[in-house]
Amino acid sequence: MSTTYLFADTHQTYSQIRCRTCTNVRDWMQMTKPQNPSNHAAPKTTALLPSLAPSDCPADVEELGRSTWTLLHTMAATYPTRPSPAQQTQTKSFISLFSNLYPCSHCAGDFRDWMARPGNAPRMNNRDEFGLWMCEAHNAVNEKLGKKVFDCSQWKVRWLDGPADGRCG
């Protein structure tokens, strides 16, 4: 069951406020463009809107997602090969807190639901386990969004070692 989070400063839930980090930039611009039809500066259709905001704009759901996956996979790639019990506990807590605080409410809710299903609880006895689990978690989101599923046998090439041709140094 997903939890609803209330923010002390607004007394609103994520779902009650307009949420840029739950929306892609095209839809966000459409939602927030001025309603006055005499405003000629406002784009008239989404087709005229950019697919990417300038890099100094606040993150939309896609930019936030890319940055977050970079953090999560890099955490897994640098997770100890033999973590102490304390490291395992801290990492488990991090994932749990992350899944409650991620600033896209529907993404976070679906992620919690996915983790609650049999076989999907975080696995972090060692780096290989955690990296594979993270890849599976990301693939669950990829599948939900209709994106290509990543070959999890390649997760270390992508997030730890880089490709064999040495282009990443």
- Single out the segment in contact with ligand FAD by CB under 6 A; choices: 3-11, 29-37, 115-123, 144-152: 144-152
- Single out the segment in contact with ligand FAD by CB under 6 A; choices: 35-43, 84-92, 122-130, 143-151: 143-151
Gap between the Cα atoms of 109 and 4, Å rounded? 9
106 lies in the binding site for ligand FAD (CB under 6 A): yes
Query: Which residue in the set 6, 116, 145, 157 belongs to the binding site for ligand FAD (CB under 6 A)?
Result: 145
CB of 73 to ligand FAD, least distance (A): 5
Residues 6, 7, 12, 18, CA torsion sign: negative
The alpha helices in 3-126, defined as continuous H runs, are 25-32, 61-77, 85-101, 105-116
- What the block records as the tokens of 158 is 């992508």
Gap between the Cα atoms of 80 and 106, Å rounded? 31
Binding site for ligand FAD (CB under 6 A): 61-62, 65-66, 68-69, 73, 102, 106-107, 110-111, 135, 138-139, 141-142, 145, 147, 150, 155, 158
